Amino acid sequence: MNGSQPATDLTTVLAADHRQLDRLCTELELGQGSPENRKDLADHLIAEVVRHTVAEESFLDGGDRDLAEADRLMRQLEGAGPQEPRFERLLGGLIRAVRRHVRGEGPEAVRQVRLACSPERRSELGEQVVAARDAAATLPHPDLADRMPQADQLWPGPGFVDRARAALCPPDDGARSASG
């Protein structure tokens, strides 16, 4: 890799998250697809924001106002149907909060990790984030819904944000600190 950071370096993982969140926001801003398809894409954005937030919160001190605003909007959005007028209003607010994070606090968080952690620690933390994501339940493809017990699905709807967060944050995981 000749001096470049490994794919599991936490700064690389977080920066890749920012690019993915930005792409999802752009796709939603294009406004294409049926309301149901937009709801599915919004649910995907919510799942990605939760995953990213958990990764940043787990290893950084202090809060991010934009991610806190996104969390508030995601909780409201999870109860809104795609045909409801408030759906697009809430989705627009979520996109704006995510964009502010991606362009403001997000890069600062990456810089904080770079300054606070050795390359070895960043690699270790990045591996932990990737492993947590791989182990967490994800949204099943709609075609699997009739073949997978509901208890095993991380389905969208009321409580989706909390279920996604719980899947990514096992109790007493001991990985809540960037020091080490």
Among the residue ranges 3-7, 59-63, 98-102, 137-141, the one predicted with the least confidence is 137-141
Specify if 180 maps to a domain.
no
C-beta separation of 53 from 71 below 8 A: yes
Between residues 94 and 38, which one has the greater pLDDT? 94
Q: Give residue 81's domain range.
A: 10-168
Q: How confident is the model at residue 159 (pLDDT cuts 50, 70, 90)?
A: low
Specify if 1 maps to a domain.
no
Contacts with 80 (C-beta within 8 Å, 6 or more apart), sequence order: 86, 87, 90
Specify if 179 maps to a domain.
no
Overall average pLDDT of the 142-154 stretch: 41
Q: How confident is the model at residue 178 (pLDDT cuts 50, 70, 90)?
A: very low
Specify if 26 maps to a domain.
yes
pLDDT score of 12: 92
Round the average pLDDT of the chain to a whole number and report it. Answer: 76
Specify if 62 maps to a domain.
yes
Contacts with 117 (C-beta within 8 Å, 6 or more apart), sequence order: 10, 125, 178
The pTM of this model reads 0.72
Number of domains the chain contains: 1
